[in-house]
Amino acid sequence: MELLYQSTRSKGVKVTASQAILKGLADDGGLFVPEKIPGLDISIEDIAGMSYKETAYEVMKLFLTDFTETELKSCIGKAYDSKFDTGEIAPLTEKAGVYYLELFHGATIAFKDMALSILPHLLTASAKKNNVNKEIVILTATSGDTGKAAMAGFADVPGTRIIVFYPKNGVSRIQERQMVTQKGSNTSVIGITGNFDDAQSGVKAMFNNKELARALDGHNYQFSSANSINIGRLVPQVVYYVYSYAKLVAKGVIQSGSPVNFVVPTGNFGNILAAYYAKNMGIPVGKLICASNENKVLFDFFETGVYDKNREFMLTSSPSMDILVSSNLERLLFKIAGEDAEATRGMMEALASEGKYTITADMKAQMADFAGGWASEEETAAEIKRVYEETGYVMDTHTAVASAVYRAYKEKTKDNTVTVIASTASPYKFGTSVMGAIGSGYKGMDDFALVDELSRISGTDIPKAVEEIRTAPVLHSTVCKTEDMQKEVEKILGI
Ligand SMILES: *Cc1c(COP(=O)(O)O)cnc(C)c1O
């Protein structure tokens, strides 16, 4: 049966999965959602015996129904290969009774690799399927991790170009170095003087600019998005929730059918939404615990039912979560509003004009699956230190936000359900903050000296992604003002 995708903002829009992947955003500015979240058609016991790739096929085939088995398996095979440093792809590590789902074993050592290593293949397959002969221009705003992971995925992929915007002063030094050393004749990276929300708004404005679309068309270009609003990113992320649940069954930690909580360090709400989709597919999930840093707009939303972005934007040690407009929340709103596109559009318009909206009591009641929490900078650093001292495990700042939120949640609720924390980045990516939390003696040390020290104290190998940038030359140095983003794109494309 074919599964079609509809827009969250108007009725009647129906596209295939491949069309949704190609377009990124719907023409009305809405996000594509499946008409119905499909149920798993195979038992957990069967999945428990499967590899990551096999699980990926079983999950993704239900969402991407216009891909043939051969096409989908080819995409999966090209994505989850030796770019990952473990055949498990997403290993589960247990420390002191908590399970860490390590999503950082890919090319750029952050969880974005889980989806962005397959998106270019899904996109080029979608183009072929829809007879698109134009060059696809991937336009992306990044809070630090998406940009590098997208460029690594798209570099030198024929028929594609990629342009990445990042907040010049809002990413870690290792993140910036990873981006500005990116190779590939089809890649461009630009720092902007604004923050991530500015970058994201600028990109959205270009997507919605009809005049620009015509100019692109005249030069045989077409925009697409690698941001987490693309269903080609959301769907691959559902896989690891299914996989990790089945692995807990395989290891005998739980019996099939008993619930598991997932704690997800959240920014744009893409990762946790994938967990919600996994739950809707039939995975027994207890609570979805949404962990925020000091930009705790989501925590406040879960508490009060009011989403209000009118507040100070905080730069934290978990920059990939420094976000005040969580784009993927729109998909949850649509669902809890009873798939009411009109109502969803109203809320998004209020967000655009007033920076806030309020959901109904009925909608709020439907969010009972979620628990919100947040951790301050001090709590995050203390959590890194505590877990290191108690277990020897070194976690990155984003994972530490989740870990701190989980500890507070457990203390408050006494909920003893088996719990999985989504570990979204390698500590090597945020070495300055991580080592600063572990010992005050590391302050002021050079980035790469810290990397060596981290390897020594944790007894882990330095990831290839970090070794590579030690000596790599800087290839990108453009910085522009937020309002000049479009000009930069026009310059790069020669339009
Ligand atoms: C992107 C990112 C997040 C936030 O994920 P969302 O899907 O945007 O909520 C958390 N941690 C890290 C390391 C990330 O790169």
The catalytic residue positions are 112
pLDDT at 376 over 90: yes
Residue 327 has what pLDDT?
A: 93
- How many angstroms does the Cα of residue 266 sit away from the middle of ligand 1? 6
pLDDT at 25 over 90: no
Pairing of the two strands 92-95 and 98-102: antiparallel
Across residues 36-46, what is the average pLDDT?
97
- Answer whether 428 contacts ligand 1 (Cβ < 6 A): no
Residue 68 has what pLDDT?
A: 97
- How many angstroms does the Cα of residue 1 sit away from the middle of ligand 1? 33
- Answer whether 175 contacts ligand 1 (Cβ < 6 A): no
Question: Helices (DSSP H) in 305-446: which residue ranges?
Answer: 329-336, 341-354, 361-365, 377-391, 397-413, 431-438
- Residue 425: pLDDT band with limits 50, 70, 90: very high
Which of 192, 191, 199 has its CA nearest to residue 227? Answer: 199
φ, ψ dihedrals at 403, nearest 5°: -65, -40
Residue 59 has what pLDDT?
A: 98
- Answer whether 430 contacts ligand 1 (Cβ < 6 A): no
β-bridge partners, 93: 100
**Spatial contact of 260 and 418, defined as CB atoms under 8 Å apart:** yes
Cα–Cα distance for residue pair 424/315, rounded to 1 Å: 18
pLDDT at 34 over 90: yes
Which single residue is written with the structure tokens 């649940």? 245
- How many angstroms does the Cα of residue 115 sit away from the middle of ligand 1? 12
Name the average pLDDT for the chain. Answer: 95
Residue type, 442: Y
Cα–Cα distance for residue pair 122/64, rounded to 1 Å: 10
Instruction: Using the atom order of ligand 1, give the atom closest to the CA of residue 269.
Output: 9
Instruction: Using the atom order of ligand 1, give the atom closest to the CA of residue 273.
Output: 7
DSSP state of 28: T
Pairing of the two strands 306-308 and 356-358: antiparallel
Pairing of the two strands 356-358 and 160-167: unpaired
Residue 143 has what pLDDT?
A: 83
Nearby residues of 400 by Cβ (< 8 Å), 6 or more positions away: 318, 375, 380, 381, 383, 384, 387, 437
Residue 204 has what pLDDT?
A: 87
β-bridge partners, 493: none
- Answer whether 425 contacts ligand 1 (Cβ < 6 A): yes
Which single residue is written with the structure tokens 């408050």? 412
| Percent above pLDDT 90 for the chain | 90
Across residues 379-392, what is the average pLDDT?
98
Residue 400 has what pLDDT?
A: 98
| Percent above pLDDT 70 for the chain | 100
Across residues 391-407, what is the average pLDDT?
98
How far, CA to CA in Å, does 262 sit from each of 140, 174, 290, 423?
28, 28, 9, 11
Strand spans (E) along 252-363: 260-265, 285-292, 306-308, 356-358
pLDDT at 426 over 90: yes
Instruction: Using the atom order of ligand 1, give the atom closest to the CA of residue 144.
Output: 15
How far, CA to CA in Å, does 121 sit from each of 53, 83, 154, 324, 359?
15, 15, 9, 31, 38
- Residue 350: pLDDT band with limits 50, 70, 90: very high
Residue 265 has what pLDDT?
A: 98
- How many angstroms does the Cα of residue 423 sit away from the middle of ligand 1? 10
Apex 199 CA angle, 197 and 201, nearest 5: 65
- Side by side, the strands of the sheet bearing 135-141 are 221-225, 135-141, 160-167, 187-192, 478-480
CB atoms within 10 A of CB 18: 24
β-bridge partners, 98: 95
pLDDT digits 0-9 by tens, 277-326:
999 999 999 999 999 999 999 999 999 999 999 999 999 999 999 999 99
Cα–Cα distance for residue pair 99/102, rounded to 1 Å: 9
Angle 377-391/397-413 helices, nearest 10 degrees?
90
The encoded tokens of residue 161 equal 């170009």
Question: Helices (DSSP H) in 80-144: which residue ranges?
Answer: 112-116, 119-129
- Answer whether 363 contacts ligand 1 (Cβ < 6 A): no
Residue 245 has what pLDDT?
A: 98
Cα–Cα distance for residue pair 247/251, rounded to 1 Å: 6
- Answer whether 145 contacts ligand 1 (Cβ < 6 A): yes
Residue 144 has what pLDDT?
A: 81
**Spatial contact of 51 and 239, defined as CB atoms under 8 Å apart:** no
pLDDT at 111 over 90: yes
- How many angstroms does the Cα of residue 292 sit away from the middle of ligand 1? 10
Kindly report the protein residue whose alpha carbon is nearest to atom 1 of ligand 1: 320
Distance of CA 208 to the CA centre of its chain: 22
**b/e per residue, 274-298, with b = 16+ CB within 10 A?**
bbbbbbbbebebbbbbbbbbbbbbb
Residue 239 has what pLDDT?
A: 98
Residue 217 has what pLDDT?
A: 95
SS3 15: strand
Q: Cα-Cα-Cα-Cα dihedral of 90, 95, 99, 103, to 10°?
A: -30
Instruction: Using the atom order of ligand 1, give the atom closest to the CA of residue 268.
Output: 8
pLDDT at 368 over 90: yes
- Answer whether 321 contacts ligand 1 (Cβ < 6 A): yes
